[in-house]
Structure formats: C-alpha cells, structure tokens
Amino acid sequence: MNNALGATTSAGPTVFVVYGASGDLAKRLVMPGFAALAAADLLPQRWVLIGSGRRATPDEEYREHVRDGLREFARGKSGVTDEVIDTILPGLRFAGGGFSEDDPGELLDAIAAAKAEVGEDAQVVHYLALPPSTFQSYTKAIAAHGLAEGTRVVYEKPYGTSPESFEELDRLVLSVFDEQQVFRIDHFLGKEATQQLHVIRFANRMIEQLWSNEHVAQVQIDVPEVLGVDDRATFYDETGATLDMLVTHLLQVAAEVALEPPADWTSDALAQAREAVLTKIRPVDPAEVILGQGTGYQEIKDVREGSTTDTFVAARVWVDTERWQGVPFVLRTGKKLAESHQNVTLVFKRPLNSPQKDDEAAPETLTFTLSGNGSVFAGVTARRPGVSDDLVPGRLYLDLAELPNAEPLPPYAALLRDVLIGDRALFTTSAGLRDAWRVVAPMLDERPELHPYEPGTWGPQAAEAIAAPFGWLTEQQSS
C-alpha cells in the first residue's frame, strides 16, 4: 500500500543499484528494508540488486556480507527469517572497481547483465547510500555514463550541509534528472506512525476540532536518544544534530502536524499540503535555539580534534498561519540523553471552568509516539476513585499494533516500496528542502553557543526554557 489512502500498485522488473553497498548505512537500514519487503512479498517478481564498491568482490562474498548483516540487523524483525534471507541472496550481484566520471568500474557490465536477466525494459534505481560529500561526484558519474535517463535516484540525508551547498547540489541534480525521478529520503516521513498524524486528525471529528491555536498551547516534537554515534562518527561529525535531524526529520514532522486539510486524499495532495505549510514556518531566531555537545564526544574515534559539532539541539519555531499563529512548536533531539522516545505532543490550554486549580498540575495532552508500531495516548485529568476529592492524571491509550490485521512496515521498507512504484508523497522535494534550509539559516549564520552536557542527562539545562512553561514531557512523566 502506498500513501494515498487505500491505493495499491505493483513494481515491474527492477535493477536496484546500491552505491556504498559495503557501508554501515546499507548494512543497518537499506538491506534490512529490502529484506522486509521480501518478507511481505512486496518485491517485484523480477529483480536484481547490484552492490557497487571500490574493492573487487566476488558475488558470493558479497552475498555472505549481506547475509551476516541481515542476521545481525533484520532477522526476527518484520517477518525476516533465515528462509527469507536465503530467498534474497541469489538476486544479489557486486560491481567492484569503484564508480566515477572517468571510470565506471564493473557497473555498466553488471547493469547490462542484470537487464539481460530480468528484462531490457527493467526500471533502474540508483540508491546513494553514501556520505553527503560524495553526492555531487556520483551524480556526475551517473550522467557521464548514460545512466540517468528514465531511471530513479535516491539521495540519503542530509541533502546538502548548508543552504549554499544545498543549492549547488540541487542545481546539479536537476540538470541531470527531472524532479519526478528524484527521491530525497526522510525516514521519519516513512514511519507509519507519522502518517497516522493526518489520518487520526482528519478521520476523527473530536480530534480535528481541537487541532488549532484555539485549543493548543504548545506542540512538542521530541526525539531524544540514549545511543551515541557508534560507528557513524565520520558521518556524524560532518553534520551533527542540527543537520542530521532538525533540517530533515523534525521540520518535516512539524509540517505534518501543521498542514491544512489537503484538497483530496491522493499522495500528491498530501505532499502539497505538507510543503505548503513549510513555506509558512518562520526563520528560527538564534536566541530561541540551544546547542549542546556531550562530554566525551571529542574523544570518539574519527571525531575531529577540537570538533564543535553539536550532538544536541532544542529550538522553538513558529508557524505563521491563521490556524497556528502564536503557538510555539518546540523541537528537541540529542545523543546520549536520559531516555529514548519519538513523540509528537499537543499540549492543550486549560479549560476555562476547570475544577483543577493547581497551576502545577499536569496539562491535558495528546501524544503520538513515532517509534516502533506507534501509539496514541491522551493525558487527561480524573477524580481519584474513593472518598478523596483529589484530581489525578490518567491516560487514554491506543496501541496501533493492536488494530485489526496490523502489519506495519519498517520506515525504510515503506520508502523503498514507494521508490519501486514511483510514489514520491513521503519524499522531500527541492522546494520543500529549500524552505527547511531557509528556516535554519539564521542559526547557521549566527551559531548559538555550544553548551556541554553529561551523557545520561537531558542535555544542557538551558534547553528547559525552550519548552516553558510546560517543560519537556518525557515518557516517564506521561506514564
């Protein structure tokens, strides 16, 4: 199923080329997503996947590499079993010798052989599972070797590392490909729980009627992580929390929350509604941003000496539409924090005639969890049963995994599926990313002070003011 409600389609014969096939991203996310599609019987009937890399590698050795990665990162999840893994391996090939403008290595021959196997009219998909610094050179190489026409190309994030580098990359990409060929991935948009934001809102009148500044005092988009950068240090040190998460995931989720009713329920209309509201997000005020770096970050292998990369960011942004005027959207993410969750929370204004007079009482909330299968819960106030007149917090809860016939796909699997069938609804466009860069440009030009924080805490103490007067609503506080 794709992102137009109820729409389905199938992919024809496909040659899927993964650049950076031996890297961490391909091992942890891309290939597990591919395996999840196999487990759900959502791959094309005829396909070949070609891994591209520098080292000459026999196909069988590459298959063993993929088998090991899938056993570590995919087995036991989303229906991926050893039997599913075994069904994938025969379709894998490897093209060594690298790939550049001057030298295509073994890739052209590998693509020609794959087309001879699955069909000369096979769709070719280029997946750049590579650091952003290589996107331009690989785009030029694809063009130089005649591999652009009629194909699709997937770019990982971040798509550029500054407004200027974004514009430079985007001009190059759109000189090689048409916009409809380009899939700029954002796996938060691929989360089925993220898509529930607009479904639950518009399909339920009792919720839709509350979705505005008349009732909402604050929106929190909160994605703390207990994990560090692990073996992604080289990549992460080039980006940090702002570029890795804020420009891409968090602003896109904010747009999902703030969008106006789409013209209809087609994928294009939903994407247009999301991107229309991105144009209304005000450029961030650096005074409303807190950056942090965890103690010990600079000692991590492959982190540059004296690095000023931020591993924490909290920001207050404003959506200048009639619906959301005056409501702060507060965004937070960071590494090695006290808790991991991925929550979108609407914090409601206190009812005018509430029997609850205590200003310290927990606010009424509606929270969407975006991790795992997702859930929705409302934080409400009720009278404690018994002889007491105490008012206490409670929760109304919906576990999305318990819905009938619930079989959620992992985000990367869902997005890979959309690439295969050509559905761009959950991918960022050139215009949408331009607006995201416009929003963060002031804090890049006038970078806020970098605050140290200890691992296992909630980050810099100064970030608490960003979420005032409610404070950050953690899982522990809302349970």
- The CATH number linked to 293 is 3.30.360.10
- Residue 141 known to bind ligand: no
Under DSSP, the state recorded for 150 is T
Q: Is residue 416 part of a domain?
A: no
| Residue labelled with tokens 């998460």 | 245
| Residue labelled with tokens 């137009």 | 4
Q: Is the pLDDT of residue 55 over 70?
A: yes
- Residue 22 known to bind ligand: yes
> Average pLDDT for residues 360-378, to the nearest whole number?
84
Residues of the chain with pLDDT > 90, as a percent, come to 68
> Average pLDDT for residues 191-217, to the nearest whole number?
90
> Average pLDDT for residues 121-133, to the nearest whole number?
93
Is 249 designated active site? yes
Cis preceding-peptide flag for 408 (omega within 30 of 0)? no
CA R_g for the chain: 23
Q: Is residue 270 part of a domain?
A: yes
CB 368 within 8 A of CB 193: yes
3 pLDDT band, cuts 50/70/90, is very low
357 pLDDT band, cuts 50/70/90, is low
Task: Note the pLDDT of residue 4.
Answer: 40
Q: Which of 322, 323, 321, 343 is nearest to 331 (CA)?
A: 343
Give yes or no: residues 145 and 242 share one domain: no
Q: Which of 65, 198, 249, 341 is catalytic?
A: 249
- Residue 225 known to bind ligand: yes
Q: Is residue 116 part of a domain?
A: yes
- Residue 108 known to bind ligand: no
- Residue 459 known to bind ligand: no
More confident residue, 133 or 372: 133
The Cα–Cα gap between 138 and 16 comes to 16
- Residue 179 known to bind ligand: no
Determine the structural domain holding residue 393 and report its residue range: 189-408+429-478
Task: Note the pLDDT of residue 158.
Answer: 83
Q: Is the pLDDT of residue 267 over 50?
A: yes
1 pLDDT band, cuts 50/70/90, is very low
- Tell me which of 139, 156, 173 is where a domain ends: 156
The Cα–Cα gap between 257 and 234 comes to 33
Task: Note the pLDDT of residue 385.
Answer: 81
Task: Note the pLDDT of residue 253.
Answer: 93
> Average pLDDT for residues 172-192, to the nearest whole number?
90
The Cα–Cα gap between 424 and 415 comes to 9
CA distances from 320 to 122, 171, 182 (A): 45, 29, 29
What is the pLDDT of the chain when averaged over all its residues?
A: 90
Give yes or no: residues 274 and 402 share one domain: yes
Give yes or no: residues 137 and 250 share one domain: no
Number of independent structural domains in the chain = 2
> Average pLDDT for residues 20-36, to the nearest whole number?
93
Q: Is residue 247 part of a domain?
A: yes
Q: Is the pLDDT of residue 287 over 50?
A: yes
Task: Note the pLDDT of residue 429.
Answer: 86
Task: Note the pLDDT of residue 8.
Answer: 42
51 forms beta bridges with 18, 94
Give yes or no: residues 120 and 202 share one domain: no
Q: Is residue 271 part of a domain?
A: yes
Q: Is residue 292 part of a domain?
A: yes
Give yes or no: residues 63 and 115 share one domain: yes
SS3 assignment, position 248: helix
The Cα–Cα gap between 451 and 292 comes to 4
432-435: which pairs have CB atoms within 8 A and are 24 or more residues apart?
Answer: 432/252, 432/255, 432/274, 432/275, 432/278, 433/159, 433/160, 433/166, 433/170, 433/184, 433/247, 434/166, 434/167, 434/170, 435/275, 435/278, 435/279, 435/281
Task: Note the pLDDT of residue 406.
Answer: 65
476 pLDDT band, cuts 50/70/90, is very low
Give yes or no: residues 220 and 102 share one domain: no
Give yes or no: residues 194 and 152 share one domain: no
Q: Name the residue type at position 230.
A: D
Task: Note the pLDDT of residue 256.
Answer: 93
Under DSSP, the state recorded for 231 is G
Task: Note the pLDDT of residue 5.
Answer: 36
Q: Is the pLDDT of residue 2 over 60?
A: no
358 pLDDT band, cuts 50/70/90, is low
SS3 assignment, position 251: helix
Question: Residue 41's domain is classified under what CATH number?
Answer: 3.40.50.720
Q: Is residue 275 part of a domain?
A: yes
Q: Is the pLDDT of residue 69 over 80?
A: yes
